[in-house]
Amino acid sequence: MKASDLIGKDVIDGEGNTLGKVENLVIDEYSGVIKGIDVKEKPNLISSEVNPIIFRKINNITNIIKLKPEII
């Protein structure tokens, strides 16, 4: 899978809620390993927020990115 395949994918939390779309990848500059993704939320048309998600919280990647359920 290429980085360009991840950009724009929908990100879904462990409960099935849409969090937003992948805007960018966070890469370790020394090892070249993907550390996480930046998810752009669109709460309204005026403003949007970018939230980082660490890679180990990702459960699987298909046509969407599904996160692992939160353990409370």
pLDDT tens for residues 18-37?
999 999 999 999 998 889 99
pTM of the model: 0.82
Burial 32-71 (b: 16+ CB within 10 A, else e): eeeebbbbbbeeeeeeeeeeebeeeebeeeeeebbbeeee
State both tokens at 3.
């980085």
Closest of 2, 3, 1, 23 to residue 11, by C-alpha? 23
Q: Where are the chain's structural domains?
A: 3-67
Please provide the CATH number assigned to the domain covering 3-67: 2.30.30.240
Please report, in tens digits, the pLDDT of each residue of the chain (72 residues total): 888 899 999 999 999 999 999 999 999 999 988 899 999 986 655 556 788 899 899 999 999 999 999 876
Distance CA 2, CA 10 (A): 16
Beta-sheet pairing, 18-27 with 10-12: antiparallel
